[in-house]
Every structure is written in C-alpha cells, then in structure tokens.
Structure 1
Amino acid sequence: MRSLTNYLAGLAAEQSVAIRYIRGGHTLLGHRWRGIGGEIDLIFEKAGTCVFVEVKKSKAFARAAESLGPRQIQRLFGAASEFLSGQPKGDLTPSRFDVALVDQSGQIEVIENALCA
C-alpha cells in the first residue's frame, strides 16, 4: 500500500511541477521519458533550450534534495544525451538540468541549472 501511495504522490508532484513550467511558457516534450540509460521525469522546451527536470518529493526540501545521488545524476545525463540525439541539433541543442523539490505540503522549489554535465 505504501508504494502505491508513494507512486501516486510522485505523479501528483510531477503534475504540479509540469503545470508550473507550462504556466511559465515552457512546452512539455516528455513526461517520464524512458531511454535505455534511464528515465527523465519531465522534459520541456522554451526559446530553443531543452530543459530536463528531475522531480524530488519528500517531507522537506532539504530531504528531497539529498535523495539525488551521483549514480542517478549519471543516469540522467545518459538519458538526456539519448533524448538529444533525436533532436535536430543533437547534443549541440542548448539544454539545462533543473531539480524541482516538492515538500509534503505541495510547495515547489525549482533549482535551475542544478546539475552540470
């Protein structure tokens, strides 16, 4: 039961973050996009830049941020490279990695350019 609750809470967090980006003028390109190397929660485009977003939900922002480890970051980079290979400019596509933290009350804190390849 707990894993179902966590799954649904994760979906709700991703949906809230997606709405925030869309309201900010971003176009959603992918939700839970899965490549060979891993999954990316949300992918957006705005002004020619591809924005990869990792959503982390926990009781508090700090705890959510701590849950993103080096191996997961490497998987994100691999999946993003795979996604970009299907874009017209390939790996030359301007891109950034954001982390969206969601706390237990549903508040969102977005850290732009949080991850550097």
Structure 2
Amino acid sequence: MPMDFLTDAHGRAQLAQQLARKRRIRAIQAAARRQPLQAWRQPLTPGSPSQRQGHAAESRACNYLIQQGARILVRNLHCKAGEIDVLAYLDGTLIFIEVRQRKHGRYGGAAASVNRTKQARLIRAARYFLPTICRHYFAGHEPPCRFDVISVQMDKIDWIADAFRL
C-alpha cells in the first residue's frame, strides 16, 4: 500500500510541475505580446557626442523597422563577446541587426564598415544571447535567425537583409 501512495504522490508532483511549466510559458508569451512596441525608447545614458549620434541612428533604424512591420524586442545587448545594436522579430525570423552610421560615402560607406572582425563579434554575441532570448521570447524554441545591417548615411537608410551568415 505505501508504494501506491508514493507512486501516486510522484505522479501528482510531476503533473503539478508540468502545469507550472505550461503556466510559466503562457505567462512569458503573454508578456511578450503585451510588451509595447515602443519599449526600446527607454532613455539611454548620455555619452560622448559620437555615442549620442550612434544612439540617434539606432532610434532612426528602429523607427524604420517598425514602419516595415518588424517588432523591436531589445536594443543594445552587451557582453564580453560584443554588442548587438537591435534585436527584432519579423515574419517568424529573429533578426540580429547592426546599425552603422557614416557622414559620407568615402571608404565604402557605412555598410562596408561591417568587416569580418565585426561579423565575428556579432556572431559570438548572438550565440551568447540566443539561449536567453529563446527562453524569454519563444518559450525555449529557437526560431530561424539572420544577421542584417542597417546603414544610415545622411538622410538615407539602407536595410541589408541577411547581410552575412555563419
């Protein structure tokens, strides 16, 4: 008789854990849906004039992405491996976006400044953040991912989708 009680108690505990996990997943998904699209507009810490220009370029890029139908998840993710300027979600794809700004087109322009070294840093940072992002926004599932570059030059914004791959 005691074995049935233990087995039954174990089964109830497993069921309770499964239900709690489902509730957590639903709560995460609901929070992600409720999150306003303007959440990235949080005030950024003041920095040097070039940092302020960079933040302004990122804000312009975010506005452009929203106009194109993308959902901005996070801005400015930092780790030792590197930084991701904008993390967006569009048409079932998670997009890691590097925003580059140049005053003029000399030396190849803004998009050309994303060289192999910068690409490697972005890839390392994406690998670092991907498990947390998947847990927080996608209930542990990994969506298709890609790396895009948005170049801001004078008044022109160019969005280079799938700019590079692993």
Match in the other structure for 2:164: 115
- Equivalent in 86, 93, 102 of residue 152 of structure 2: 102
Unaligned runs of 5+ in 1: none
Report the CA distance between 1:108 and its aligned residue: 0.5
Q: Tell me the residue number matched to 2:112.
A: 66
CA positional deviation for 1:72: 1.4
**Distance in 2 separating the partners of 1:35 and 1:28:** 19
1:15 matched to 2:67? The reply is no
Where 1:25 maps in the other structure, the secondary structure is coil
Structure 2 SS opposite 1:85: helix
Q: Which residue of 2 aligns with 1:78?
A: 124
Structure with the greater alpha carbon radius of gyration: 2
Give the aligned CA root-mean-square deviation in angstroms: 1.6
Question: Which ranges in structure 2 are unaligned for 5 or more consecutive residues?
Answer: 1-46, 135-139
More helix by share: 2
Structure with more of its chain in strand, by fraction: 1
1:28-71: CA deviations, max 9, x gaps? 11101113311100000123210111011012353212322212
1:9-30 deviation digits (Å, cap 9, x = unpaired) = 1111100000011121211111
Runs of 4+ in 1 over 6 A off after TM superposition: none
Aligned-residue sequence identity (percent) comes to 31
Provide TM-score, normalisation by structure 1: 0.86
What is the correspondence of 1:19-58 to structure 2 with a 5 Å cutoff? 19-58=63-102
Higher relative contact order (CA 8 A, sep 6+): 1
Corresponding pairs, count: 112
The one-letter code matched in structure 2 to 1:113 is D
Quick one: distance in 2 between partners of 1:46 and 1:70?
25
Correspondent of 2:141 among 89, 106, 109: 89
